[in-house]
Amino acid sequence: MIQSDLDLFGPQPQRLASHTVLLPGFALDVIEPLLDALRPVLRAAPFRHMQTPGGLNMAVALSNCGTLGWVSDARGYRYSPTDPLSGQPWPALPEVLLDLAGRAAGTAGFDAFVPDACLINHYLPGTRLSLHQDRDEKDFAQPIVSISLGLPAVFLFGGLQRAERTQRIALNHADVLVWGGEDRLRFHGVLPIKPGVHPRLGERRINLTLRKAG
């Protein structure tokens, strides 16, 4: 490779489907403010393993911030204004996250996105997330913005039917993925995280999904 081939401005947005855009490294310039904002959120609402409606422990640990948070227990999956661990409202959505999500959505063609919920997923090496659809939100016309931090992941990008074939897409530290429109109800999942140590986050992957849930 010759010097002039190096793209000093980083990779460009990639359209993965008609209404799905991967923004590689989009969060890079706000990583430290973002981690600073997450610390107090996770002190007030620590990661925990929720129970599935079937009574199993979820492999992914999770927390939330925003006026609504995604919860799971024997009664099912739903959004709740309070943290079941503390009985208190979830911590507020930090400005840096709100701003990043709005800019990412706008870049992907979804204007005026104002999320009210941020699900924070925590993966250790070996943790996976099986194929599912996100359908607990009220309005499927609203997009979702996902921010990946730490160890890399391979996400499975499927179709509108579970049995459709899936594409494998790499999600790296600071990558932002936005999807909406006709892609909003695609099946998706995450392959087991490979062992490794991320220079900033250590032996973990954290994924933030910003949603308009209510």
Binding residues for ligand MD3 (CB under 6 A): 119, 121, 129, 134, 146, 153, 155, 157, 177, 179, 183, 186, 188, 190, 207, 209
Dihedrals φ, ψ of 32, to 5°? -70, -45
Q: Which amino acid is at 171?
A: L
Cβ partners under 8 Å of residue 122, min gap 6: 47, 60, 61, 62, 63, 204, 205, 206
CB under 5 to 8 A by kind: which of ligand MD3, Fe ion, none does 127 bind? none
- C-alpha gyration radius of the chain: 17
Contact partner, 212, from ligand MD3, Fe ion, none, Cβ < 5-8 Å per class: none
| Residues 123 to 182 in contact with Fe ion, rule: CB under 5 A | 134
d(CA 46, CA 5): 44
CA separation for the pair 111, 195 (Å, rounded): 38
CB of 204 to Fe ion, least distance (A): 18
**Residue 14: CB minimum distance to ligand MD3, A:** 13
What residue 113 binds from Fe ion, ligand MD3, none (CB within 5 to 8 A, per partner kind)? none
Nearest distance in Å: CB 1, ligand MD3: 30
